[in-house]
């Protein structure tokens, strides 16, 4: 439960190596070896070896591939994570997801197919674009 609270706080406070701030609109492909937080609007593709956090005012119109993801804003696109996907009470995902662990807080929305996988090889919906250990 402490990890979930920590992720919830991270989604409310800017705490990542790369931050797309509120009021910023960015498009393209982000490839990161670390954590990234989106508080503004992003369109394109996100590939992160670390965690992706979509803040409560964040909007992502792109597929997301990451180690873990915490969604407090809106994602229009497929989300593929190696480990944990947390959808907070203000979070919305409109797309298919693939994760080892999924948590949806009351009020959170997932509109799409979901696959829970035990190993990365079991991911069926969204193929990862990077290799993990």
| Tens of pLDDT, residues 91-106 | 999 999 999 999 999 9
pLDDT at residue 13 greater than cutoff 50: no
| Host domain of residue 40 | 2-23+33-122
Burial class (CB in 10 A: 0-12, 13-18, 19+), 57: middle
The structural domain count of the chain equals: 1
What is the average pLDDT value for the chain, to the nearest integer?
A: 84
Give the count of beta carbons closer than 10 Å to the beta carbon of residue 34: 11
Give the whole-number percent of the chain exceeding pLDDT 70.
Answer: 77
74 has a pLDDT exceeding 90:
yes
Q: What is the pLDDT of residue 6?
A: 53
Q: Which of 2-11, 20-29, 100-109 reaches the highest mean pLDDT? A: 100-109
Nearest one of 107, 71, 78, 116 to 95, comparing CA atoms: 78
128 occurs within a structural domain: no
Asked if residue 9 belongs to a domain, the reply is yes
Question: Is the whole-model pTM more than 0.75?
Answer: yes
pLDDT of residue 132: 44
Residue 113 lies in a domain: yes
The pLDDT of 87-94, averaged and rounded, is 97
133 domain residue, yes or no: no
Asked if the structure places residue 78 within a domain, the reply is yes
List beta partners, residue 52. Answer: 36, 69
């Amino acid at each position: 439960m402490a990890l979930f609270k920590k992720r919830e706080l991270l989604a409310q406070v800017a705490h990542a190596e790369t931050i797309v701030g509120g009021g910023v609109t960015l498009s393209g492909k982000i490839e990161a070896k670390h954590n990234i937080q989106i508080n503004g609007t992003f369109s394109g593709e996100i590939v992160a070896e670390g965690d992706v956090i979509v803040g409560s005012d964040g909007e992502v119109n792109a597929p997301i591939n990451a180690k873990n993801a915490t969604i407090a804003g809106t994602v229009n696109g497929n989300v593929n994570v190696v480990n944990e996907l947390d959808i907070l009470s203000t979070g919305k995902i409109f797309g298919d997801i693939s994760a080892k662990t999924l948590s949806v807080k009351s009020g959170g929305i997932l509109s799409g197919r979901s696959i829970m996988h035990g190993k990365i090889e079991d991911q069926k919906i969204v193929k990862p674009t990077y290799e993990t250990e």
